[in-house]
Structure 1
Amino acid sequence: MLALGKLLELTLAGREPAEKTQLTVDGVRMRWLSEGALEVRPPEARGNGLDLLLSAGIHGNETAPIELLDRLLHDIARGDLKPRARILFLFGNPEAMRRGERFVEQDVNRLFNGRHESSSGVEALRACELERLAASFFSLPDRQRLHYDLHTAIRGSKIEQFALYPWKQGRQHSRRELARLRAAGMQAVLLQNKPSIVFSAYTYDQLGAESFTLELGKARPFGQNQGVNVERLETRLKQIIDGSEPEPEQDSLDGLQLFSVAREVIKHSDSFHLHLPADVENFSELEVGYLLAEDIAQTRWVIEEKGARIIFPNPKVKNGLRAGILIVPTTADGLA
């Protein structure tokens, strides 16, 4: 196997490859761009006009998605997977990956869409570099652009595999992309309705890609991901890469649960208190009238929405950041 196929090994060791560009036996060019970043380009005659960005390791302890990208890259480097799409593989936070930690100083996935400009440290620099790499990759005209940012969660979930679909004023969410997610094993999609500062929101808003954050299960250390089933996603990604993907059945989103954001719970001070068990699962239902959280100045979050659920509850975030999202069921009306 070509050395550049071992991008994960290089990244975890903090090494640069001796050869920055290599060709597979069937003419696929692999080019090392910077730490944790590798471009894969098919022969021109075989390309199908798709630019696919696959990112993982934005949080360094979310290893199942990292291992998934590693397997795909190995298959390409050995010639077993013959891409027709142009691909950028990104490992988001190499230093946190080496430490086996979520982040070093601060959460990279809260530093996009310009937020890194008002911050400092290793993660702010990395967020800036990731934006630069994505912008360069998606700079070619007249191409389809698709970005999957792969994650696992710090807690269990009543709906294990789900996606977050970013929002932009004047742009409709795509029924075709939802059908593709359903075929890839996603059980639910959160249709967002306001700007965000995560990586997928940057590529969606600023670069015009169809972009998604995919949550695939619970975060575990390297080599301990037997309980995270990514078979359907892995199969679909291989089909997207080699151009053999069946056309999704756009008329049928059966079984795919759709949600929209009702409110974000923002932590304003150290006095913030979230009235949920520490092990509460994502998508846990909350009754109308339930006191969810309290903060300074008698700020109270009381559940008003019928069918409300909580995702990403985290009272340990820094002041000013989101400590949870209240979501409600929605329909497929208004999709493009």
Structure 2
Amino acid sequence: MLALGKLLDLTLAGREPAEKTQLTVDGVRMRWLAEGALEVRPPEAQDSGMDLLLSAGIHGNETAPIELLDRLLHDIARGVIKPRARILFLFGNPAAMRTGLRFVEEDLNRLFNGRHESSSGYEAMRAHELERLATTFFSVAHRTRLHYDLHTAIRGSRIEQFALYPFKEGRAHSRRELGRLRAAGMQAVLLQNKPSIVFIAFTYEQLEVEAFTLELGKARPFGQNEGVNLQPLERRLKHIIEGTEQPEDSIDGLELFSVAREVIKHSDRFILHLPLHVENFHELPKGYVLADDPGHACWVIEEQGARIIFPNPKVKNGLRAGMIIEPATLKNLDQTSE
């Protein structure tokens, strides 16, 4: 196997490869760009016109997606997978991956769309570098652009695998992408309702990429992910990479949710009235006092069928401590497209 197929080993060891560019026996070019960053380019005659960014390890302790990308890279380097797409593999937070921590200084996935400019330290510099790498990768005109940012969650979930679809004013949701997500094993999609500062928001809003966060189960250490079923996603990624997808995927059975409100922690007096280990998609009855922040706000559930997602009262003041979501349908979306 080509040495560049061992990007994860290089990243965890903090080493640069001796050879920055290598070719497989099929003429696929693998090029090391920076720590945790590798571009794969098929021969020109085999190029399908797809540019695919696969990122994992934005949080260093979310190892199942990292291991998935490692398997894909191994198969490409050995010639088992024969790419027809350009691919950028990114391991987002190498320093946190090496220590097994979510982050080193601050949450990397809260530092995009310019947010890193008002911060300093390792994660801020890394966010800037990831934006630069993505911008360069997606700079070629007239190509299909797709970004999957792969995560696992710090808590359990009543819907184990789901996707987040970012927001941009006036931009349509794609039925094609919803079908692709369903075929990849996603059980639900959360449609966001305002711009954000996460990685997919940057590629979606600034680079015109179809971009999604995929939540794939519970975060576990390296080598302990037997309970995380990534087979449907892995199969679909191989089809995307090799250009062998079906032209149309059904969205039947895919649950859709939209963000009703964000719960923002304003002060150290903030209280979230939920059990410590409450699961994502926990149902919230009307009238329930979800949280209060004396002198700032009180969140009482008004929505029918409301649920909580990403509850985290330990975030810094000014950041989101959870999202109240509600069921959505294609009929009540602003726009849909093929």
Answer yes or no: same fold by TM over 0.5: yes
How big is the shift at 1:296?
2.7
Among 293, 304, 307, the alignment partner of 1:306 is 304
Partner of 2:128: 128
Q: Give the unaligned 5+ runs of structure 1.
A: none
Determine if the alignment matches structure 1 residue 270 to structure 2 residue 271.
no
Contact 1:314–1:324 at 8 Å: present in 2 too? yes
Instruction: Provide the alpha-carbon RMSD of the alignment.
Output: 0.6
What CA distance in whole angstroms lies between the structure 2 residues aligned with 1:225 and 1:247?
Answer: 32
SS in 2 for 1:152: strand
What are the residue-to-residue correspondences of 1:246-325 with 2, within 5 Å?
A: 246-249=246-249, 252-297=250-295, 299-325=297-323
Contact 2:82–2:242 at 8 Å: present in 1 too? yes
How big is the shift at 1:299?
1.9
How big is the shift at 1:298?
5.4
In structure 1, give the amino acid aligned to 2:174.
Answer: S
The share of aligned pairs that are identical, in percent, is 79
Contact 1:11–1:36 at 8 Å: present in 2 too? yes
How big is the shift at 1:332?
1.1
Contact 1:183–1:248 at 8 Å: present in 2 too? no
Determine if the alignment matches structure 1 residue 335 to structure 2 residue 336.
yes
SS in 2 for 1:204: helix
Contact 1:310–1:327 at 8 Å: present in 2 too? yes
Cα distance per residue 1:86-130 (max 9 Å; x no partner) = 000000000000000000000000000000000111000000000
What CA distance in whole angstroms lies between the structure 1 residues aligned with 2:117 and 2:30?
Answer: 31
Contact 2:266–2:296 at 8 Å: present in 1 too? no
In structure 2, give the amino acid aligned to 1:39.
Answer: E
Partner of 2:228: 228
What are the residue-to-residue correspondences of 1:153-192 with 2, within 5 Å?
A: 153-192=153-192
Cα distance per residue 1:252-287 (max 9 Å; x no partner) = 421100000000000001111100001100000000
Give the 4+ runs in structure 1 shifted more than 2 A.
none
In structure 1, give the amino acid aligned to 2:192.
Answer: Q
What CA distance in whole angstroms lies between the structure 2 residues aligned with 1:299 and 1:85?
Answer: 48
What CA distance in whole angstroms lies between the structure 1 residues aligned with 2:184 and 2:92?
Answer: 22
Contact 1:268–1:296 at 8 Å: present in 2 too? no
What CA distance in whole angstroms lies between the structure 2 residues aligned with 1:92 and 1:50?
Answer: 22
How big is the shift at 1:248?
2.6
What CA distance in whole angstroms lies between the structure 1 residues aligned with 2:58 and 2:95?
Answer: 10
What CA distance in whole angstroms lies between the structure 2 residues aligned with 1:256 and 1:147?
Answer: 20
Query: Compared with structure 1, are the counterparts of its residues 268 and 298 closer, same or farther at alpha carbon in structure 2 (3 Å cutoff)?
Result: closer
User: Scaled by the length of structure 1, what TM-score is found?
Assistant: 0.99
Contact 1:161–1:215 at 8 Å: present in 2 too? yes
Q: Give the unaligned 5+ runs of structure 2.
A: none
SS in 2 for 1:190: strand
Q: When the two structures are aligned, how many residues end up with a matched partner?
A: 334
SS in 1 for 2:193: coil
Partner of 2:24: 24
In structure 1, give the amino acid aligned to 2:115.
Answer: R
In structure 2, give the amino acid aligned to 1:84.
Answer: R
What CA distance in whole angstroms lies between the structure 1 residues aligned with 2:245 and 2:75?
Answer: 17
SS in 2 for 1:319: coil
What CA distance in whole angstroms lies between the structure 2 residues aligned with 1:126 and 1:296?
Answer: 36
Partner of 2:35: 35
SS in 1 for 2:180: helix
In structure 2, give the amino acid aligned to 1:318.
Answer: K
